[in-house]
Amino acid sequence: MTTLAAATRTHTKPIIEIQDVVKKFGDFTAVNGVTLTIHQGELFSLLGGSGCGKSTLLRMIAGFEEPTSGRILIDGQDVVGLPPYERPVNMMFQSYALFPHMTVEQNIAFGLKQDGLPKAEIKARVEEMLRMVELSRFAKRKPHQLSGGQRQRVALARSLAKRPKVLLLDEPLSALDKKLRERTQLELVDIQDKLGVTFIMVTHDQEEAMTMSTRVAVMDAGEIVQVDHPHAMYEYPNSRFVAEFFGSVNMFEGTLVEDEPDYVVIESPEIPSRIYVGHGISGRQGSVVWVAVRPEKVMLSKSQPTQPDNLAKGRVSDIVYLGGISTYMVTLTTGKVVRVTVPNVTRQAEAEITWEDEVWIYWRPESAVVVQQ
């Protein structure tokens, strides 16, 4: 889903450099030794569950929290110790934090007034921002007279009005309903692309991260687990955590029995056949590994497939119909439940596989990926 232009854009100049940053609240370590470089013009996502430290990291860039140790550089300048009002970044808050006693116009002009810009320029900039978010008609309204989506746009306009070097977005779309959220995702990407401002977004929604970002950092327990492009993250997760957090996955725990440069073979008590994976790993024989197979890469068949590996017999225990696709839950003879998603090529009533059917599941050697931690 990543827009091609954003993905292929070359990012050269580092705009944010986070070096070995640790943040402790009493005994609790919220951020534990994070090192990260974000380049000019990126739309970078910090993804993770609640309490993983992603918001704390964002708040340290904004200046609301100071790191216990480590350095944060914005455009080459060490900002640790600098108060928020002296940092060249702006933030869009999850709650929007619009000033309730000011009109839309006054909200957007607020930051510009602090810079002491001439009145005419403030006016022009506010109008430009209002046009950008298509709210010119609502300039004189107070925030409580706007819908949730409109408030979200005012918050965006206000945080962009000062033309910050970096825009920090804290769960920017979490308060919107699904339909509006999807539309706003694309609009945000569009605006980011047009202005060329670096966006750093915190989100717990992996779909949102995948749709919008040029790069994603998955965080867990205060540490960064993996940083990569969304598609690489999805196809080549480096750990069980990332594989399971970033999209859904079938995971087989097994032992490495053959480790060749271009393939590996794994035996797992959860599946009768051998698992043959078409890429080498730097593991050692006999070690415990996990094989991750995405549900859409598993195929279903009523007759036995011809391949010798990566297959198992099972029974359809549940079907989740989602319109465009259906998810089949197949219980293998070993008791393991495997998710299989299949596009609904025909109408559901005419589908050939249904509840309680005996089926075979199978996948190609290049469809699976081995993770070691």
Q: How far is the CB of 253 from other proteins (least distance, A)?
A: 44
Residue 330 pairs in a beta bridge with 316, 338
Instruction: Out of 125, 151, 153, 158, name the contact with other proteins by CB under 8 A.
Output: 158
Instruction: Out of 68, 110, 236, 279, name the contact with other proteins by CB under 8 A.
Output: 110
- 77 interacts with other proteins by CB under 8 A: no
Could you tell me the end-to-end alpha-carbon distance of the chain, in angstroms, rounded to an integer?
28
Instruction: Out of 4, 10, 28, 85, name the contact with other proteins by CB under 8 A.
Output: 85
Task: Tell me whether residue 151 or residue 294 sits nearer to other proteins (CB atom).
Answer: 151
Composition of the chain by helix, strand, coil, percent to 5: 30, 35, 40
- 111 interacts with other proteins by CB under 8 A: yes
Token reading at 368:
């699976």
- 162 interacts with other proteins by CB under 8 A: yes
- 236 interacts with other proteins by CB under 8 A: no
Q: Helical H runs in 196-322? A: 206-212, 230-235, 240-245
Binding segment for other proteins among 85-93, 182-190, 263-271, 327-335 (CB under 8 A)?
85-93
Q: How far apart are CA 308 and CA 89, in angstroms?
A: 57
Cα–Cα distances in Å, from 49 out to 175, 190, 212, 221? 17, 27, 18, 9
Q: How far is the CB of 82 from other proteins (least distance, A)?
A: 11
Instruction: Out of 69, 77, 95, 304, name the contact with other proteins by CB under 8 A.
Output: 95
Instruction: Out of 47, 52, 72, 91, name the contact with other proteins by CB under 8 A.
Output: 91
Instruction: Out of 5, 78, 81, 115, name the contact with other proteins by CB under 8 A.
Output: 115
Cβ atoms of residues 200 and 58 within 8 Å: yes
Q: How far is the CB of 17 from other proteins (least distance, A)?
A: 20
Residue 262: exposure state from Cβ atoms within 10 A (0-12, 13-18, ≥19):
exposed
Instruction: Out of 80, 97, 337, 342, name the contact with other proteins by CB under 8 A.
Output: 97
Q: How far apart are CA 336 and CA 42, in angstroms?
A: 41
Residue type, 290: W
What is the contact surface with other proteins in residues (CB under 8 A)? Answer: 62-64, 83-86, 89-91, 93, 95, 97-101, 110-111, 114-115, 142, 158-159, 162
